[in-house]
Homo-oligomer: A and B are copies of this chain.
Amino acid sequence: MSNKDIGYDTINLGHGSGGLMTRDLLDHIIFETFSNPYLDQKHDGSIIKVDGEMAISTDSFVVSPIFFKGGNIGELAVNGTVNDVAMCGANPKFLSLAFVVEEGLPMGDFIKIVKSIKETADRAGVQIITGDTKVVERGKGDKIFINTTGFGKVHPEAHISPYKIKAGDKIIISGPVAQHGMAIMSQRDGLEFESTIESDTTNLNFLVNDLLDGFGDKIHLFRDPTRGGLASVLSEIASDTELGISIKETEIPLDDQVAAACEILGLDPLFVANEGIFVTIVDAEVADAVLELMKKDKKGARAACIGEFTQEHPKKVVMHSVIGGKRMVTPMIGEQLPRIC
């Protein structure tokens, strides 16, 4: 598959027309890359056989730049939705894939993104079963936006709900914070700085599945701290319960280089977006065993218990800081860094 196969160096308005050019683009790039019995139906949609409880999640990805250290928009679009389905306690199996491409996107970039989507989907064990491609005029979009919607069967042992959380429950995070946001920021126009920080984008579904296999209904919640960062997610969870959250700053995994970059730019790493980590709220009695299991997996190697739920200060998140004080952790209000995912 190359630019030559479809005779155009860039994406053209005609590629979104629904006519022959669209068909060429689909046949030579999309169908060739993702071929599977569902997509090969080539209908307006796809038919799957399912049975029981299914989780469904949708996300649009508008990250800028579209290629960044540690990943690209295609990789993000697969992992992001795979992880959202996993956070429901489900095993993602199918994805829909919809592009809104700006006229003039180099065909090579489009092909690179499509290939990356295929590789990322294979790694996560999901299939692309239906899709759509639209093209907008130059200046009416920003290179490429991608929507993915994911489906997967809920794990038979999953009982995921904020209502299950009780005082004493432990809060475990699977890895270091703020990597994705700082990787994007280091490459953002006008903000570029030298760093080797890479996005943490990855699929978390297998690790989530292992936890549900091992601990079933002792796992009370999964949540991935993407936009808005860890602070926004913890605030949201606290507000969904009648309990408070108490966390220790010293326990939150954070790379030195990421911490330094945040400090230089005056950013709070708790507000910075993540793509490859999750928070889980577990019954205290299994917390150590959960940590042990997570640390055996590369994606949870740096997992840490960062705090617990408490009867005190209901609906509020309080952080015990490095220097011994306490501070209230509030959700982010406006926009710290737009177009992060």
A interface list, Cβ under 8 A from B? 12-14, 16-23, 42-62, 64, 84-85, 87-88, 90, 94, 96-100, 129-132, 134-137, 139-142, 145, 147, 149-151, 154, 160, 223-224, 226-229, 232, 236, 240, 271, 273, 331-336, 338-339
Contacts and interface: CB of A to CB of B under 8 A. Distances in A.
Contact of A53 (B49, B87, B271): B49
B339 A17 contact: no
A332 B44 contact: no
Contacts of A129: 56
Contacts of A160: 43
Which 8 A-B residue pairings sit nearest by Cβ, starting from the closest? A18-B227, A45-B57, A19-B332, A18-B228, A14-B334, A58-B96, A149-B149, A147-B147
Interface centre among A42, A141, A142 (most CB of B within 10 A): A141
Contacts of A141: 140-142, 145
Contact of A332 (B18, B58, B226, B232): B18
Contacts of A12: 334-335
Contact of A50 (B50, B61, B136): B50
Given A19-B271, A137-B339, A141-B141, 9 more contacts: A22-B227, A44-B87, A45-B57, A45-B150, A51-B51, A58-B98, A136-B142, A136-B145, A149-B149
A28 to B, nearest CB: 15
A22 B12 CA distance: 34
Interface centre among A16, A84, A149 (most CB of B within 10 A): A149
A45 B84 contact: yes
B338 A45 contact: no
A137 B335 CA distance: 12
B54 A17 contact: no
Given A232-B19, A331-B23, A336-B17, A100 B45 contact: no
Contacts of A331: 19-20, 23
